[in-house]
Amino acid sequence: MTDETRGDQPFKRLFFALDCPPAQRKAIAQWRSELGLRTGKPVPADNFHLTLLFLGAVPLAQIGEVCEAAAKVRIPGEALRISLDRLQVWRRAGVLSLAPEQAPQALLRLVYALEQAMLPFGFEEATREYRPHLTLARDYRAPEPESATPPEFFLRAERFALFESHKGRYRALADWPLI
């Protein structure tokens, strides 16, 4: 069995997320470097994103239907603006991340709408409690690092996307407007 087939059925590892613009990726990566991390594996800046819903292994034959269901998801109003103003360590998962002190209601509604749209497909991950975050490092096994400058990043999103995870890289397969 390879990482692209399960049994005899080919699949892709997929998740929905808000992409991080290139200038913001650079600013976050610079801020992270100033933390002087001595443990963990830094996430490549090109992979910075805010996950909405992890789907896991999706059969290739089902991706079109997943995209059709996602295309029907909308939230009313304007673009999402998420403050990434809290540095946190998830000890059990070994993750260092940036997160909002308070998740915007519009973000939570979008995640709920995606979860509902994906229910017919039976993805197991949809039952986890949603905790918005941007992963800075994996395999992180230390206390929360000291920061000379507190995190004050704002992720602004007008679209959400379906990403493929393949060999440590993330690639958007499709995206949809939020408005």
Distance CA 51, CA 74 (A): 17
Query: Does an H or E element contain 165, and which?
Result: strand 159-166
Distance CA 176, CA 46 (A): 20
Beta pairing class for 80-84 and 49-59: unpaired
Query: Does an H or E element contain 22, and which?
Result: helix 22-33
Q: Which of 12, 25, 32, 49 is catalytic?
A: 49
3-state SS string for 34-87: CCCCCCCEECCHHHCEEEEEEEEEEEHHHHHHHHHHHHCCCCCCCCEEEEECEE
Q: Which of 28, 80, 133, 170 is catalytic?
A: 133
166 is an active site residue: no
Contacts of 90 (CB under 8 A, 6+ apart): 97
**Residues that are catalytic:** 49, 133
